Structure 1
Amino acid sequence: MEHTSNYDHLVHIKSHDELALYELIPNVVWFFDLDKHGWWWGNQATVDFWGLDDVQQLIDKDLSGDTQGAKDRTAQTFELAVKNGLTIDPWTTYPNGKPKTVFMMHRAVLLGPEKHRGIIAFINEKVELGEQPENLLLVEAMRYTRVAATTFTDQGEVVIENPAATEAYAHLNSQPLPKGVSAFVARFADPEQGRECLAKAIADQGGRWDYVMRTTQGDRQHALDVRRTRHPLTGEFLLLVVEYDVTELYQALQEVEQARKKLHDIAMTDTLTQVASLHHMQEVAKQALDDAAQKGERVRVLFIDLDGFKEINDQYGHDIGDEVLKIVARRIQASIRASDMLARIGGDEFVILQFGVEDTEQVAARTLSHLAEPIAVQGGTIKVNASIGIASYPEDADNLKDLLKLADDAMYQVKSSGKNAFLFASA
């Protein structure tokens, strides 16, 4: 696997013949090939470190059991070395199965004729911490995790941070902080929220909260996981803050909410006539009936069915029929009060939901009058009449379903007795 696009500036070591001088170095020096995930070469100190007989055993060492996390950490080390020229990190190695924590310097290079990605590891100080080097293992974990991790004093000053945190807030380190603003608070888009978060974290011994943070990428939504911890050397109480960038999740949730609202709006509106849908009217009616029950008021339902609309569709076609329905909806809307609600519940059926019902007869008569006005269409003039049935709350029923049924029955009585009129269900 050849890599040239991003790494042309790196030193290219073509063969082992170029490495003779490294044998003169008494400290451990090895070359690691990332693309084959194995050692490329090591000096005698390296061979001794791993308890091997010769360098070929190092090159042939089977690393197939390494986890993907170990591979990812090595790749991160390479990229950091590419970017910074040199990295200095604590690593825990396991020669003969026993843990040894060492400080390593790494440089990035290209190896062999195929220009594999490689790192030169220089061990400049061995640290013997027995078999449980927890503190440095924690430092390693912080360094190579991709989420920002920082420890703060209770005054909000940084004690140590990993590269992810340094990169996320590099812009804040390039200028002095405003007076009275700690490093902890400065990371928040709203400084007052930062002060509140710091106070809560201290009082509650940690917690998890979401805030908008001022990162090098702009304002980002972060989930902050804050825990109480101790300084590994002094024992001082600190706050460990691990930040997870959840901006994309928030954006996805906002998109879902917008889509949900859009679908809700679509469901609330009749697509053709742009008046309310039956679903919308059902939502409004539930609250309206509850309010009317508390206030002792009436609500009325006017069920409107156009007379002879099927013949209009048959004679002029559905496109003309749709235009007629739009005009009918506008005429009914103009006939009712601003406080009333008009919904199309299907085909050529409309319903008026009327609140405060003193003038129901006038509204019904006005609706019939407006609908009776001729409609000019391509190919002629159309006259539309309607039959209207009216049901009242609470006299006739106490729920919308029954009110609609009673108003529908009254409307059919109008149709059977001559049409173009209105009738109360109670009559």
Structure 2
Amino acid sequence: MKDELVTLSDLSAFNLLRSPVWVFDIYEMKAWWANTAAIRLWDAPNLEAFLSRNFNDASQTTRTRLQGYLECFARGETVVDQWTFYPNGQPTSVQSTFSGIRIAEKNGRIAMLVEATYSSPHVNSDLLRSVEVLRHTPLLVSLWTLEGDAILQNPAAMECYGELSPQLSKRFADRALIQLIRQQTQQQGGFCTETVMRTRYGLRWHRVELKQTTDPVTGSSVILVNEIDISDRIAAEIALGRERNKLARAQQVAHLGSWELNLSTLEMILSQESFRIFGLPCDRAAPPYREYRQQIYTEDLSLWDSRLQQLIQGQETEIEFRIVRPNGEIRYLLGRGEPIFNGEGQVEKLFGTILDITERKQTEIALQQAKEIETHEKD
């Protein structure tokens, strides 16, 4: 972009061209000037009618894209890009050159000079639609050379990172990951990870997928990068992990465990305290239901099965039963269970808690035995 101020009279020479040329004020989202060919392209009856059109209903994607152009103009760069305009609602695909000029009548403010260098009604429709999808998708898409030099990015990526970084590696917060990415992309053709990225809004968690592909323009191998922001999910997982840790500590203090049984798969989920109550290693996978049932004291199995049927029928229940730990130790447990229903009102899972009451039961048994001995001695 040149520093010289441009006036309306300076633009009059463009009226001699057959190519559409117009000046657009990005700040006001209005056209400021247009030649005769541009007026025809925009299907306006005259210049005044075209200049009176207001483009404030433009999408956020379009605004982000234009803001990126302003940043390019400020550095003296020219942008060549494909656009689909909609004069009076009719799509017109145009390959254009965009450059920045300073308007004298606007106190030297930067405006966008648009030169429509190519327009054809025969452009492949699938290609045009693909371009529009790429521009409006929330996915962050960018293209890089194998050396990590920038080629292009879509508006969503521009909104996230600002202007295209000169090097892909600068976007990753974990510098140690860069070498692994290069190795995997070159050897395996791609790489996918969840990592922290440096964005214009600070550090954010992204799911990043890199794939080596071919540039349709040069035929060279390039890296296509797709990203999606997963920061909210990571924050929720961290919060959930904290709550689970709190629950695990509370259960450990209270000697209270919990379990969940999926009736379709018979897979069980046990809390850490449940592992301890059953005398199982905490670092092992949860046992299948049949293994869980095998630890129930033989004389209590029929009672357990009847309570389980109550749960399956949709009733809450409570039970005192015994288990045998792998080392042969017998423990007394108090269990409570409740059914979990699916959207159709059918029992889908069972959830329960188990409390180790061994010490209490041993005390009760000792008292009962003492009473029996006392009664026997009196007799």
Work out whether 1:193 is the aligned partner of 2:184: no
What is aligned with 2:61?
73
What is aligned with 1:90?
81
Distance 1:104 1:262, change over 3 A: same
Q: Per-residue deviation at 1:54?
A: 0.5
- 1:99 counterpart SS class: strand
What is aligned with 1:29?
22
CA–CA distance in structure 2, aligned partners of residues 134 and 119 of structure 1: 35
Q: How does 1:340-419 map to 2 (within 5 A)?
A: 351-352=357-358, 389-390=361-362, 410=365, 413=368
Q: Per-residue deviation at 1:77?
A: 4.0
Work out whether 1:297 is the aligned partner of 2:328: yes
What is aligned with 1:104?
98
Q: How does 1:10-409 map to 2 (within 5 A)?
A: 22-26=11-15, 28-31=21-24, 39=31, 42-59=34-51, 71-80=59-68, 83=71, 85-86=73-74, 88-94=79-85, 97-105=91-99, 120-124=111-115, 126-128=117-119, 130-132=122-124, 149-153=141-145, 155-162=146-153, 164=157, 168=161, 183=167, 187-213=171-197, 220-270=204-254, 276-277=255-256, 282-288=274-280, 297-299=328-330, 351-352=357-358, 389-390=361-362
Q: Per-residue deviation at 1:227?
A: 3.0
Amino acid aligned to 2:224: L
CA–CA distance in structure 1, aligned partners of residues 55 and 162 of structure 2: 36
Q: Per-residue deviation at 1:266?
A: 2.5
- 1:225 counterpart SS class: strand
- 8 Å Cα contact 2:23-2:113 kept in structure 1: yes
- 8 Å Cα contact 2:198-2:204 kept in structure 1: yes
- 8 Å Cα contact 2:208-2:228 kept in structure 1: yes
CA–CA distance in structure 2, aligned partners of residues 57 and 170 of structure 1: 34
CA–CA distance in structure 2, aligned partners of residues 302 and 29 of structure 1: 82
TM-score (norm 1): 0.49
Distance 1:192 1:60, change over 3 A: closer
Distance 1:260 1:61, change over 3 A: same
Deviation string 1:256-302 (CA, Å, 9 cap, x unpaired) is 221222233233333xxxxx346576542223596x97965334559
Amino acid aligned to 2:215: H
Q: Aligned pair count? A: 284
CA–CA distance in structure 2, aligned partners of residues 294 and 302 of structure 1: 12
Q: Per-residue deviation at 1:158?
A: 1.8
- 8 Å Cα contact 1:206-1:228 kept in structure 2: yes
Q: Per-residue deviation at 1:138?
A: 7.3
Alignment RMSD (CA, Å) = 5.2
Stretches of structure 1 lacking an aligned partner (at least 5 in a row): 1-17, 113-117, 174-182, 271-275, 304-343, 354-387, 391-406, 420-427
What is aligned with 1:395?
none
CA–CA distance in structure 2, aligned partners of residues 161 and 21 of structure 1: 33
Q: Per-residue deviation at 1:240?
A: 0.7
What is aligned with 1:366?
none
Q: Per-residue deviation at 1:249?
A: 2.8
TM-score (norm 2): 0.54
Stretches of structure 2 lacking an aligned partner (at least 5 in a row): 1-6, 259-271, 281-291, 296-322, 335-353, 375-379
Distance 1:38 1:134, change over 3 A: farther
Q: Percent identity?
A: 18
